Amino acid sequence: MRAIAARIRERKSQFAKLEVMDCGKPYDEATWDMDDVAGCFEYYADLAEGLDAKQKAPISLPMESFKSYVLKEPIGVVGLISPWNYPLLMATWKVAPALAAGCAAILKPSELASLTCLELADVCREVGLPAGVLNILTGLGPEAGAPLASHPHVDKIAFTGSNATGQKIMASAAPLVKPVSLELGGKSPIVVFQDVDLDKAVEWTMFGCFWTNGQICSATSRLLVQESIATEFLDRLVKWTKNIKTSDPFEEGCRLGPVISRGQYEKILKFISTAKSEGATILCGGDRPKHLNKGYFIEPTIIADIDRTMEIWREEVFGPVLCIKTFSTEEEALEMANDSQYALAAAVISNDLERCERMTQAFQAGIVWVNCSQPCFTQNPWGGNKHSGFGRELGEWGLENYLSVKQVTQYI
């Protein structure tokens, strides 16, 4: 696994270029993603070594005539189904812990962005991973993903993708009582209180929603801003957002490339036009940038005058679209933040750390960010609740996904 990481670092710019061509993200972002990919393999290499030391740890029992311990064993052959937004990184969040646990894996990358996963297979071959340990199965969801999910010889499915596909995977695993872990969508809130440094709060708000073109499951795409600072805050937010550089993702300084596909482009524009027709106000963006007449580019968009029943407020857009509502009290902010079918992430921005602590405890989310949005560390658990799925990736929790626990009790 360390050799895989080393090769990926050596070939970082080639991997990053492929990723840009496949999914349109800015080149420097893709380069940072490759560092995270290599770091993830190294992290799970360390955990794999630690795992050996933990085997057979004795369990203390109330009777001296028995002794017990636990063996952690690889769960078997695992099916890993991944999305297109971080093509190699999302795949690595599954492949690295699965290999560390000793599982053989079949990875089904997204049909929209499979190239870097195929390159990963080459790297594995180069470093001597035995044939058959990691297999890459390309193809469409119904043709390649569905048979994998329902195959009786696949012992577990780890899935990252949309809620609709997650439901299908769970249904097809049910008759086989096959374990699944699901990392699904989100519609995460960011709550900004009046006591903040406005510029810092604007920066985190923009980053939280527009990074990777908003094509992040944890994007904080619902902004709740306290009424007393709303006008000033929104003025700065709109001004800065208009300056985000949208361009060819290979161009220096690019922050927003094209969205992934025609389907996604049309879907995002439809979300925006429906919101407009329902009475929402577009504060900026809302269309294709005027300077780019080719490619699936969409301006970073901020939408106000939203009713909470609107689709744009309730459904995951998965594009560069930020929706705004104001609040007056902490209770009101919390109630609006938690009023979602999803529960992946939530962010609070405030200088009052006691308030942050209260919000942290009350947020319905698997991930809470305090005075920031989106930082992600391999060491921390990642995943959500409610319709955002269940199970956790990354950290030691990610390894447990691929281990089964065997209890051994001996009479002495």
Q: Which of 5, 217, 365, 399 binds ligand NAD (CB under 6 A)?
A: 217
Angstrom CA distances, 86 to 112, 277, 356, stand at 11, 33, 30
18-47 positions binding ligand NAD, by CB under 6 A: none
Query: In the bound complex, what is the minimum distance in angstroms from residue 362's beta carbon to ligand NAD?
Result: 21
Query: In the bound complex, what is the minimum distance in angstroms from residue 293's beta carbon to ligand NAD?
Result: 26
Give the residue with the Cβ less far from ligand NAD, 91 or 284: 91
285 binds ligand NAD (CB under 6 A): no
**Count, residues near ligand NAD per rule CB under 6 A:** 29
Residue linked to tokens 């094509």? 215
370-389 positions binding ligand NAD, by CB under 6 A: 382
Which neighbouring-strand residues pair with 304? 281
365 binds ligand NAD (CB under 6 A): no
149 binds ligand NAD (CB under 6 A): yes
Query: In the bound complex, what is the minimum distance in angstroms from residue 22's beta carbon to ligand NAD?
Result: 12
316 binds ligand NAD (CB under 6 A): yes
User: Which among 29, 119, 183, 299 is annotated as catalytic?
Assistant: 183
160 binds ligand NAD (CB under 6 A): yes
Per-position x/- string for 170-209, each x denoting binding to ligand NAD as judged by CB under 6 A, each - no binding:
-------------xxxx-----------------------
**CA–CA dist 287, 90 (Å, integer):** 29
Angstrom CA distances, 400 to 78, 82, 177, 247, stand at 13, 19, 18, 41
96-115 positions binding ligand NAD, by CB under 6 A: 108, 110-111
From 79-87, 276-284, 292-300, 397-405, give the range in contact with ligand NAD by CB under 6 A.
79-87
**CA–CA dist 5, 263 (Å, integer):** 34
319-348 positions binding ligand NAD, by CB under 6 A: 344
Q: What is the DSSP annotation of 332-350?
A: HHHHHHH-SSEESEEEEE-
- Residue 385: name the closest of 403, 366, 369, 371 by CA: 366
Q: Which of 9, 11, 151, 168 binds ligand NAD (CB under 6 A)?
A: 168
317 binds ligand NAD (CB under 6 A): no
From 54-62, 98-106, 137-145, 349-357, give the range in contact with ligand NAD by CB under 6 A.
137-145
CB 382 within 8 A of CB 243: no
Q: Which of 81, 101, 254, 268 binds ligand NAD (CB under 6 A)?
A: 81
117: Cβ contacts below 8 Å, ≥ 6 apart:
82, 87, 88, 91, 107, 109, 136, 138
Neighbouring C-beta atoms of residue 21, cutoff 10 Å: 14
**CA–CA dist 328, 198 (Å, integer):** 17
261 binds ligand NAD (CB under 6 A): no
Catalytic residue status for 183: yes
Residue linked to tokens 């009424």? 227
Helices in 102-255 by DSSP H: which ranges? Answer: 115-127, 146-149, 163-173, 198-210, 227-242
Distance of CA 85 to the CA centre of its chain: 8
Angstrom CA distances, 224 to 106, 272, 327, stand at 41, 19, 7
318 binds ligand NAD (CB under 6 A): yes
Q: Which residues bind ligand NAD (CB under 6 A)?
A: 81-85, 90, 108, 110-111, 141-142, 145-146, 149, 160-162, 165, 168-169, 183-186, 217, 316, 318, 344, 382
Active site residue ranges: 183
